[in-house]
Amino acid sequence: MVRKPPNIELTIPEQGYATLLCDNFDWWQEALNVTLPHDLYERMAAAKAHAIELDDRRKATVKFSMGNEDFQMSATGSRGKEYLLTNDDIRIEIGSPNIEWSFTWRATAAGLWEYGVHALRDRVYMMLRKALIAPLRPDERWVSLSRVDYAFDLWSPSFTQEMTPDIVNTLVTPAAVKWRADVWGNSSRPADSEVKAQTITFGSKKGCQVQIYDKTAEIVEASGKEWMLEIWGEQGGYWPVDKPKDVWRLEVRMAGDWLKDRTEKDPEKFFEYQWQLIADALFNRRLTVSNSNDQNRWRWPLHPLYSLVIDAIDNPQEFVPVGRKVTGRRDQLQNILVTNAAGTLRSALVLKGHEDITEELATELATEIVARMFADKSHNEKIEKAENRYELVEEAR
């Protein structure tokens, strides 16, 4: 069951406070109750043995094909599973044929950001069919959603300045939800020697966790995800001339009983209630704007960064009053939206595999986009929300 978040107000961000660069799934993991052909197990055992022979440290991998997908077979398994197969987009762990639900797959972050969760799910289920991997009990549900992460990346120098240890005084969570803030001395910036908070974590990955962290620091220092810089530029218009900075990730991680209680771990139910689930997580693990005149912090307004995200996902089911109004000149805002739409159209054409992008191909896809827009059952409702959002814009003078 999807819980209804508390009825609190959004906070209207000031002009230029933050820009939502992009949002997408960052983790998608399913467990499958399937049966594999005997010869597939034999091939996996032989490939794993070959990988072990190549390196006594068991660090080697060998190429392995399953259905229409190519993987690297590792010399070791993972988390109690006997076989580990990986490629750039998909990771598969397979256990004993004598144990049910022993087939697990997840999409990599790189694959999700490049292709999207639906395209990767299509690839996995096509691979299963081609490899003759079938449900153990076709008349029962054989797919279980294990974990989902959804991320929002926001550029906000203003929020960087707010991320001091004092920000923990604005956190609001249910009593049972623990939180943690990681701080660091900002000695790398001689002009700003105060202590900064780098990460705030609400809850546990075993259930529902919301984390706010400095994504630019992660990319620069450790993660090897420099490909995110291109996504920030293509989708959000952020092209840093030097080292990237001031990009914060607001990430919702859903798993365990929290996911089971709300979706029965059914992927289709998750997609049906996706935005409501994300709103549920954010409202109950949130930053707020403190109100000294109200001792009940549960009534404090939502922080501008959270408000921007909630507004961006169309404030699902009108859980709270829409508080943010876009201001600015109408012609400038329209130009920004048209430019973003052009970039999205270009990226879609590239993903379709067109090496030479022509006006004819672009027009064909644009026609498909328009048809899909008018076919949307929520089309009129979304128009009304957009009119509300932009009612304060000014005409060009």
Q: Average pLDDT per run of 10 along the chain, which is 397 residues long?
A: 63 91 97 97 97 93 97 93 97 96 97 97 97 96 98 96 90 86 56 68 94 90 82 94 92 96 95 92 91 87 93 66 45 77 84 82 92 88 69 46
The pLDDT assigned to 323 comes to 33
CA distances from 15 to 152, 241, 329, 341 (A): 19, 23, 12, 22
| pLDDT given at position 7 | 64
Contact indicator for 10, 311 with CB cutoff of 8 Å? yes
> Strand, coil or helix: what is 231?
helix
| pTM of the predicted model as reported, rounded to 2 decimal places | 0.77
Q: Which amino acid is at 362?
A: A
Residue 4 pLDDT: 55
pLDDT score of 385: 66
- Per-residue pLDDT, 185: 52
Residue 105 three-state SS: strand
Cβ neighbors of 228 (< 8 A, separation 6 or more) are 113, 153, 215, 219
The pair of structure tokens assigned to 257 is 């009983």
- pLDDT at res. 328: 53
Residue 360's H or E segment, with its range, is helix 359-375
